[in-house]
Amino acid sequence: MENRTIDTRERILDAGERLFMAHGYEGTSMRQITGEAGVNLAAVNYHFGSKESLMQEVFRRRLDWLNEERMRVLHEMEAEAAGKSLKPSQIVDGFFGTLLRMAGDENRGGMTFLRLLGRTLTEPSEFIRAFLAHEYQAVMDRYKEALFKALPEVPKAEIVWRFHFMLGATSYAIAGTDALRLVTDWQIEDEDSTDRLDRLVPRLMSFLLGGLRAPLPQF
C-alpha cells in the first residue's frame, strides 16, 4: 500500500514538473501528464485533488527546501559575521547561488525545476502568482533587509529595483537554455552542457554584482 502510492505520486510530480516546464501550465493536459507518468488518468485527481493542486505540489516539493536552505545560509553567514554587515557578494551568492546550485542536484529537480520556476515567474496565472508570492515573501524580505544593511548608502528603492533586475537576469538565464538559442547559436561553440552549467554560476554572479554595484542613475 505504501510503495504503490508513493511511486505513483512521485511519478506524477516528475512528469508534471517536466511537462509544465516544457509547455506551461495551460499547455499541459492531464492526459499528457498521466500518460508520461504511466499511471491512470484518474490518479492525479485521486492523489492531488485537481490540476491546480498538482501544480502547487510540484512547486512546494522543491521550494520548501530552497527557501529553508536560503534562510539557513543567510543565518550562517550572519552568525559568522558577528554583527558586522555582510558583503553584497555573500548575499547575492546566498540567494542566487543557492538557487543555481540546485541545477546540479538532480534529486532536487535539477535544471528542469529551475527552468520551470524561471518561466513561471513571468507567466503567472492568478493562482500561481498568489501561491508563489506567499511561498517567497518571507525569504525575499529577509534578503532585502540584508542588502539594505550591506549597502546603507544606496536608497532602498534602488536596491529593490536591482534585486528585481537580478531576479530577471537569473530567471531568464535559466529558463532560456533553449531560448538561449535565440541569442547565441554559433557564438558559443566550445562548451558542452555540463561545462556550461559550471561556468554559468560565476558568469552570472559577476554580472549580477556588476549590476548591483553600478553607479546610481542620475535623474
C-alpha cell at 142: 529577509
**Angle subtended at Cα 110 by Cα 88 and Cα 46, rounded to the nearest 5 degrees:** 125
User: Which residues form the interface with DNA (CB under 7 A)?
Assistant: 1-2, 4-5, 7-8, 28-32, 39-47, 50-52
Q: Does 149 bind a copy of itself (CB under 8 A)?
A: no
User: Considering CB distances under 5 to 8 angstroms, the limit depending on partner class, which of DNA, a copy of itself, none binds residue 46?
Assistant: DNA
Looking at 2-10, 24-32, 73-81, 89-97, which segment touches a copy of itself (CB under 8 A)?
Answer: 24-32
Comparison of 46 and 207: residue with beta carbon closer to DNA: 46
* CA 115 to chain centroid: 7
Q: Are 129 and 137 in contact (CB under 8 A)?
A: no
CB contact set of 127 (below 8 Å; sequence gap of 6+): 52
Q: 35-94: which residues touch a copy of itself (CB under 8 A)? A: none
Element at 102 (helix H, strand E): helix 98-102
CB of 130 to DNA, least distance (A): 16
Q: What does each C-alpha distance from 29 to 15, 17, 185 come to in angstroms?
A: 11, 12, 31
Q: In terms of CB distance, is 43 or 166 closer to a copy of itself?
A: 166
Q: Which stretch binds a copy of itself (CB under 8 A): 11-19, 71-79, 100-108, 180-188?
A: 180-188
By a kind-dependent CB cut-off of 5 to 8 A, residue 56 interacts, out of DNA, a copy of itself, none, with: none
